[in-house]
Structure 1
């Protein structure tokens, strides 16, 4: 599903959310309305069809039902306000707010650059680290990494990130052009497979390398079926999206972390 800031119609966003949930689970309009606290099993369908509107209170209920937090929830409120706006002046004001939020939180979708960006841990880590160390030289960035990387490699990676638009270089200080990097469904499966293998190896080392105050590991072993698998995956994706929204709104960052979430079968189907 597309990032919410690519939408200008809240009804289309709700409709796409519903279709995405329905694709991966036995989701229905009745269940959707129940999650949002509506007694009518068809209310949100009427909203999507343009036959009803959302009030401020109902907007909050729907945002909560779709697990929207942080800037995503704020943007959804603006989408609804735009639809409810009575005059052009109000609409213009809301559109300007939406535009500013889109610029601030726009997610960069990578396709052609995906293979190089995800070929090694250095690219995403340096992209996060460089803005935290304004004016730092490549050897200083290299020294700040827990894994071995040379100053020459850091310099090369910085040039790639700037050239491809992942970072901006302003007198030796780097800023991110977008808060989030995501990949299209077409490009990512091939590009990110090796990254998953690599990061899983680093996670294994981290069990003994860092204290429990510095790292957090947990896991569960569970029975499951095809329908539950879809629901669990959806919940994990929503969790990652919420965490992404939280970190995108945070300032004064001082460290780069990696979070892995793995879900895989230990047995054959019985």
Structure 2
């Protein structure tokens, strides 16, 4: 079950964290993996890991916010059976402390970047008779988080675009779903804490860990496992759904 043999998967932001975990697992399950990554060296490192394990992978250095570059990558790939829109950035701030430049930067990567990949991938999927799309949303699309205005905006957009694409392409055999993780322990999280809470890293890590009722952050491999299911043929009856992968954050916090 959950094999991707003979399928081509494009994963954005596949050079680290959740994207890396997804790329490694998809390749292990037989997919030919194409990583779109701004940090080409990080992407190449994941490609090397995949190839060392006997899998197939390639990295494409591109900024997902630039539509022409994204379209060129997808045209070069040719066939796309699975798209995982994972690339994203964060920002700390409320409406008063979020500058126009900050807001625009988050929008360009998180919202426009996902749109650009959908714009490039959907016509290819239509032409070949179908495909599966997995968008990375967040608990921030469902609940209010303190000082996350721009990030919440972007993930709310991902959630809404997921529903729109799922509806529009029911007749094209294109499924579109999203995953809404709570905090997941990645190098990105460690860097985020170090940048925004210097000198209080251990305290903030502990606080963020216990904000999930289950008592810890998620692991990238746990997100990858759900992404694999949604990309696989076993999820053929699943579209237009969002999956909170949140350790109880949305429903069990009191």
TM-score (norm 2): 0.31
Structure with greater strand percent: 2
TM-score (norm 1): 0.30
Q: Which has the larger radius of gyration?
A: 1
